[in-house]
Chain A
């Protein structure tokens, strides 16, 4: 069996004004073919106006296995949320 085509992750912008969102992956021999295949696999019914593809092996991700979770520091910083601040109910536009 010959080598498999590399894996690409696919991101689609659903419509103008939205971020690209991860929709899945596919195999392609190169970048150009990955975009074409992404069009055929993930946007057969106008699901997008723009496609990004990136080699899966080029992605660096946070690890869910870390003992001290990466996102814990955000947990005790409630002062980063607007609801942390008490203001009188009769102040308009706040």
Chain B
């Protein structure tokens, strides 16, 4: 493409962003904008799919039919969210199959939070409350992201996440009204998930090299640290109401800032998890790979059936 046309297109792209309009699939966009979106949306989609595992393990052990139905619906939603997001990514010229291959090869990431184990049933509630709560903080601003299909997928996701968070909080409230042992289970679970939940917002702004560019492009709307602060401020009164302690001695209200001060999580631990060295990283990926391979014959059989039906129809038409 000649330089004049290229500059023209770049100008139109930037004018669209400046007007606050959305970029749509068939619009021209810079290669880096496209690549950043594919990376971010794919990582998000993979997180939803991998995120089915930690809670999915509790479906068969849910303590009542009501809790089981809720958990099934929630895990089905996560699958749905993954599909909305793969669908958005595919408008950028990639395919779900290609993204899945990259995940299985360890070339694309998923959220650090799903590399942690869920040994206790209270974790189902804690994930709903803290993990989905953090996800909502991250995701609500993405409804206004500059790429149309991504924003529209996020609107659907956010509507459904609010059910996820509320069911988690309700589950924990119920346990907190139970026996001492049940209350201890909740506290133990919150103790384990608090720090990983804080890590979900990514590294501190100073170590997040892509943030500025993503914000200039309107892909990201807030910085990691701003979202983390918002999450902490939101969560403190909820913890009080629940009667659990957030495991941070440094967590205090700062009148001057109008925000809570808190201790940052262990960034070395986050780096290790992102590298693929989290407590359950290998297990999560192995499970996903097994599911993909075990399902291969179903995908092939369905295609063969469709081809046969097509041939039969063509045969009838020829007669």
Q: Assess whether A41 is in contact with B299, with CB atoms less than 8 Å apart.
A: no
Total of A-B residue pairs, C-beta within 8 Å: 56
Q: B28 touching A65 by the CB < 8 A rule?
A: yes
Stretch of B79-87, B109-117, B223-231, B255-263 at the chain-chain interface: B79-87
Q: A1-B97, A1-B101 are in contact. Are A7 and B306 (CB under 8 A)?
A: no
Find out whether the CB atom of B26 lies under 8 angstroms from the CB atom of A27: no
The 0/1 profile, CB within 8 Å of B marked 1, for residues 1-29 of chain A is 11111010000000000000000111101
Contact residues on B (Cβ < 8 Å of other chain), bracket: 20 to 34
Query: Are B302 and A29 within 8 A (Cβ)?
Result: yes
Interface residues on A, range: 20 to 34
Q: Report the separation of the CA atoms of residues A42 and B84 in the bound assembly, to the nearest whole angstrom.
A: 9
Query: For the complex, is B309 an interface residue (Cβ under 8 Å from A)?
Result: yes
Given contacts A7-B90, A65-B28, contact A26 B83 (CB under 8 A): yes
- Contact (Cβ within 8 A) B305 A64: no
- Given known A-B contacts A63-B26, A65-B28, A5 and B303 have beta carbons under 8 A apart: yes
Contacts of B160 in A (CB 8 A): 45
Evaluate whether A29 and B90 lie within 8 angstroms (CB atoms) in the complex, with A1-B101, A41-B83 already known.
no
Would you give the shortest CB distance from A34 to chain B, in whole angstroms? 10
Q: B293-308: which residues lie under 8 A (CB-CB) from chain A?
A: 296, 299-300, 302-303, 305-306
A74 cross-chain contacts in B, Cβ below 8 A: none
Say yes or no: A29 contacts B305, CB within 8 Å: yes
Contact of B77 among A2, A44, A64, A65 (CB under 8 A): A44
Instruction: For the complex formed, measure the closest distance between the CB of A60 and the CB atoms of chain B, giving whole angstroms.
Output: 12
Is B10 an interface position by the 8 A CB rule?
A: no
Cα of A64 to Cα of B303 in the assembled complex, Å: 34
Q: Binary interface profile of B, 11-31, with partner A (CB < 8 Å = 1, else 0)?
A: 000000000000010111000
The answer to whether A44 touches B76, judged by C-beta atoms less than 8 angstroms apart, is yes
CB distance from B159 to the nearest CB of A (A): 8
By a CB distance below 8 angstroms, the chain B residues around A70 are none
Verify B303–A2 contact, CB threshold 8 A.
Answer: yes
CB–CB A24/B303 < 8 A = no
Whole-angstrom distance between the Cβ of A45 and the nearest chain B Cβ: 8
In the bound assembly, the distance between CA atoms of A33 and B302 in angstroms comes to 9
A2 CB, min distance to chain B CBs, angstroms: 5
Which residue of the partner chain A has the closest CB to B5?
A67
- Further 17 A-B residue pairs, CB within 8 A, beyond A2-B296, A24-B87: A3-B303, A4-B95, A4-B97, A5-B299, A5-B302, A26-B87, A29-B303, A29-B306, A30-B302, A30-B305, A33-B302, A41-B83, A41-B84, A44-B76, A44-B80, A61-B26, A64-B24
Task: Please report A residues at the B interface, Cβ cutoff 8 Å.
Answer: 1-5, 7, 24-27, 29-30, 33, 40-41, 44-45, 61, 63-65
